[in-house]
Amino acid sequence: MTDLSEKEWDIEISAKSPVLNLGLKDVWHYRDLLVLLVRRDFVSFYKQTILGPIWFFVQPAITIIIYTIVFGNLAGIPVDGIPKPLFYLAGTVIWNYFAECILKTSTVFKDNASMLGKVYFPRLIMPLSIVLSNLIRFGVQLLLFVLVMLCYALSGSVFQPNFYLLLFPLLILMVAALGLGLGMLISAVTTKYRDLAFVVTFGVPLLMYTTTVIYPLSVVMEKYPAYSWLIKFNPVTAVIETVRYGFFSKGSFSWELLTYSSIVTACILLLGIVVFNRVGKSFVDTV
């Protein structure tokens, strides 16, 4: 007869675990579930729609047209010599990924309370699946950016990508980590205080105007130096500016600003994981 106490278990569920324990081993063990959730999130976006996956292109395309007309032509905001659609598209694609990550992760406990309360699996899988499914959408929208850039190149425009374009994977990882960290932090708080969910819903779109999605940092530094700190110290600003500088060699780039953004992102992600893990053990009692 085998002694159960001598068996080696794949997963041990304990009421107590280190605060900073990410549980990545458990996440890897449940990787099939992660893939399933990513596929569910991706497919559910366009299921029962007429245009299907084309909506991934339509949404940013319409946004860019409106930005070009309103901010580029009517308001006449300079764009550092970059073609206006490409300028707005570069910022919009980055911002959309960040906004989608934070908005959907912020309600993960509330949206999945019925499933999370019945079955055990690493809670971290839920926000990770949101970040990964949004990464696929980001990839599709990035393809639109490349196609528009190619059209401009074929029509005679000359672009000079530089060394800083190699930072692109790191920049996307920063955006994902920032959205994940803020989303987990907010989701933990909204289990008790639902008011924050309303603040996030209208606050995130407004937050876009404190980044350089529709205007370059150089314009803010030149015309509104007293308020430039508000734009510079938004962690997403450094990412957008670096992406544009890497693709077009125009605009501004600062190692100091990028380092600051990296440190803030790491701190928010760490804090989000700590709070998420603590709340994840008892959220069923409050949701």
55, two tokens: 């909506």
Inside any domain, residue 287: no
DSSP secondary structure letter of residue 163? G
- Domain count across the chain: 1
Is 197 domain-assigned?
yes
Task: Check whether 3 has a pLDDT greater than 60.
Answer: no
pLDDT digits (tens, 9 = 90+) for 192-232: 777 777 888 888 889 899 899 999 988 888 888 888 888 88
Instruction: Give the mean pLDDT of the chain.
Output: 83
Q: Tell me whether residue 216 is in a domain.
A: yes
For residues 170 and 225, the model is more confident at 170
Higher pLDDT, 16 or 157: 157
**Res 145: pLDDT:** 92
Mean pLDDT of 90-112: 86
pLDDT per residue as tens digits for the range 114-150: 777 777 777 788 888 888 988 988 998 899 999 999 9
**Is residue 8 assigned to a domain?**
no
Half-sphere exposure of 38 (CA within 13 A, CB side): 16
First CA to last CA across the chain, in angstroms?
44
Global pTM value: 0.86
Treating both helix axes as pointing N-terminal to C-terminal, what angle do 84-105 and 55-67 enclose, rounded to 10 degrees? Answer: 120
- Using the structure block, give the residue that is written with the tokens 């100091």: 256
In a domain, 38, yes or no: no
Please say if the pLDDT value at position 101 is more than 60: yes
DSSP-derived 3-state class of residue 100: helix
Per-residue pLDDT tens over the stretch 47-78 = 767 777 777 788 888 999 999 999 988 988 88
- From the list 216, 253, 217, 211, the residue with the least C-alpha distance to 236 is 211
Q: Is the CB of residue 188 less than 8 Å from the CB of residue 275? A: yes
**pLDDT at residue 81, as a whole number:** 86
Range of the domain at 216: 53-281
Decide if 58 is inside a domain: yes
Residue 155 domain flag: yes
Judge whether 286 lies within some domain: no
